[in-house]
Homo-oligomer: A and B are copies of this chain.
Amino acid sequence: MNAPRTAPLAAFHIYDTTLRDGSQQEGLTLSVADKLAVARLLDELGVTYLEGGWPGAVPRDTEFFARAATELELRTARLAAFGATRKAGVAVAEDTQVAALVDSQAPTITLVAKSDIRHVRGALRTTGEENLAMVRDTVEHLTGLGREVFVDAEHFFDGFEHDGDYTTSVVAAAFDAGAEVVVLCDTNGGMLPHRVTEIIEDLRGRLAAVGHGNARLGVHTHNDSGCAVANALTAVRAGITHVQGCVNGYGERTGNADLLTLVADLQLKMGMELVDPDVLSEMTRIAQAIGEIVNMPVGHRAPYVGASAFAHKAGLHASAIRVDPDLYQHIDPRDVGNDMRMIISDMAGRASIELKGRELGFDLAGNQDLLSRLAATIKQREAAGYSYEAADASFELLLLDQLGEVPQYVDVESWRATSQLGRDGTLESEATVKLVATGAGEPERKVAIAEGNGPVNALDLALRAALRDRFPMIDEFELQDFKVRILDAQHGTDATTRVLVRTSGRGLEFQTVGVGPNVIEASWEAVFDAYTYGLYKSGI
C-alpha cells in the first residue's frame, strides 16, 4: 500500500467506489481476493482514489485493508477507507468504528455524514447540533492523526431542498474541522441536471459567506432518474473537481454513475486530460476483466465499453459505413479499446455480410452470389432460433461452408448422455460418443465413454476422449462459459433452447451457438462447433 502522500493533491479526483458502494448491487458479492484483483485493475486504469470498503463494519473489508497493506502495490491510486462519523453521545476517541478506520492504515478516510436534518432526527435519532459535533470531532480526530479526510454529505441534495441552512452547516462544519473535500451525494438518486447546477451555485454562495468559497467539492450520483452521468458532468461544469462512481455503473438499485463513461466523456468530449491516452485505450479490456471478476458481465449496451457500443445492424448504415466509418461513430472506438463491429442478423444485407467477412479476413466483395446465399441462409437459420450476433465463430464456419472450405474432421454416429440420482443420494452423469475421425489421416472409428459433472460436461469429456489421439491440441482449448436461453418462454421446459459457448485456447477466444429442442442437444452442437473451429484455427 502507498504511504500517506506528501505531494499536493491531484487537480482532479477520479474517485472509484466499486469496492464499497458498487458492491451494494443486487447479485454482486466480492471476496477479498476479488477485491484485490479489482483494485489492481482500477489502479491500472489510473483512478486517483480507490475506496476499498468499510473496515470495522464489514469483516471482509477489514481483511481487505489488512491484506492491501502488504499485498497491494498501487501505481497511481491512493487507498481510501469508508466509515461513519462517531456515534451520537460517544467520545470520538472511544468510538470503536472510528478506531477501526484508523487501524485500517488507509491514508485517506472518507466519512459519511448525515446532511439532511430529517435523517439526523429519523435515522440517527439525535439533534442537528449533536450531528454537527459528530462531524467536527471525527474530522479533527482523523486529521490530527495525519490522515487525509473526505466527507460524503449523505442525502445532500434532498437535504438542501428541504432545509438548505442546516445542510450547508454540515458542509461548513466539515471544512471548519479540516476536511479536504466535501462530497455532495445524491443518495436516493432522484436529481436532474438543472437542479444539480442550481443547488451547487446556491451552496457556493452560502459557503463563500462563511469563508469557504474556494473549498473543494465533490459529487456522488446514482441513476434513479436515468441521469447519473449527466448529473456528475453538470457538477463538473459547476466547478466540482472530484467525481465518484463505479466501474460499469455497479451499485444499489439503478446503480452509481458509471465511472468509465464519466472519464471517457470528460476526457474525449470535455477536453480534460485525466488519464494517459494509452491507458484510456485499455478501458474496454479493464471493464471486461472487472466484469469477469465480479461475475457481473459488462452490459452489451454500456456506453464506450459495451460489445454493442459500436455495433451496426441496419443495412442502410452498413452501405454508408463502407464509405466513411467516422460519419457513423461519435468517437473512434480505438480510443477506448473497443471495435466497430458489424452485426449479422436477419436484417443483415449483403453489405453487412461483406463487411463482417472483411473483419474476419475474407474478401467477398466480388462474390455477390455467395453474399446472397449467405444472407438467405442466415435469415433462415435465425428464424429457427440461431443467433450469429454473438457467435462469430459459428458465423465463420457458415461462411467457410458456403465457400466449400468447411473443415470436416469428424462424422458423428451417435451419442448418449445420462444423469441419475441413486437411492443413496449419489448423482452420476455419464456419456458415450461414437464417431469416425476423418481429418488428418485415414478414417478411424472411435468409441469413448466419460463420466462428468453433469451431462454436458460428460459429453464434452467423451468427445475429447474420442478425439484426443487424432487431434492432441484439443486439450489446449477450454470451454469458459456457456449460456442457455429458452427461446419460446411460453412453453417452460418444452421449448426451443439456444446455447452460446465461449471457448479459449491457443491465444484465441471465440463463441459458438447451438439450437435444439433441449439443452443437451443445443449444447452438443455449440461444443462440436467450438472444437471444429478450434481445430480449423490450429491449421489442421
Which A residues are within 8 Å of any B CB, using their own CB? Answer: 24-27, 29, 116, 118-119, 122-123, 155, 188-190, 192-194, 223-231, 233-234, 237, 249, 252-255, 258, 261-262, 265, 269-270, 292, 295, 299-304, 306, 308-314, 319-320, 323-324, 327-331, 343, 345-347, 382, 387, 389, 412-423, 427, 429, 452-457, 460, 478-484, 486-487, 489-490, 492-495, 497, 503, 516-521, 523-524, 527
Contact = CB atoms under 8 A, between A and B. Distances in A.
A402 to B, nearest CB: 22
B518 A306 contact: no
Contact of A310 (B228, B253, B478): B253
Contacts of A324: 118, 122-123
Contact of A193 (B233, B252, B456): B233
Q: Which of A123, A155, A188, A319 has the most CB of B within 10 A?
A: A123
Contacts of A190: 269, 330-331
A225 B479 contact: no
Contacts of A252: 308, 311-314
Given A313-B252, A382-B29, A303 B225 contact: yes
Complex copy number for this chain: 2
Nearest to A194: B237
A310 B254 CA distance: 8
B24 A314 contact: yes
Contact of A122 (B323, B329, B479): B323
A454 B517 contact: yes
A413 B423 contact: yes
Given A226-B258, A237-B194, A265-B226, A456 B346 contact: no
B258 A456 contact: no
A329 B254 contact: no
A85 to B, nearest CB: 14
B329 A188 contact: yes
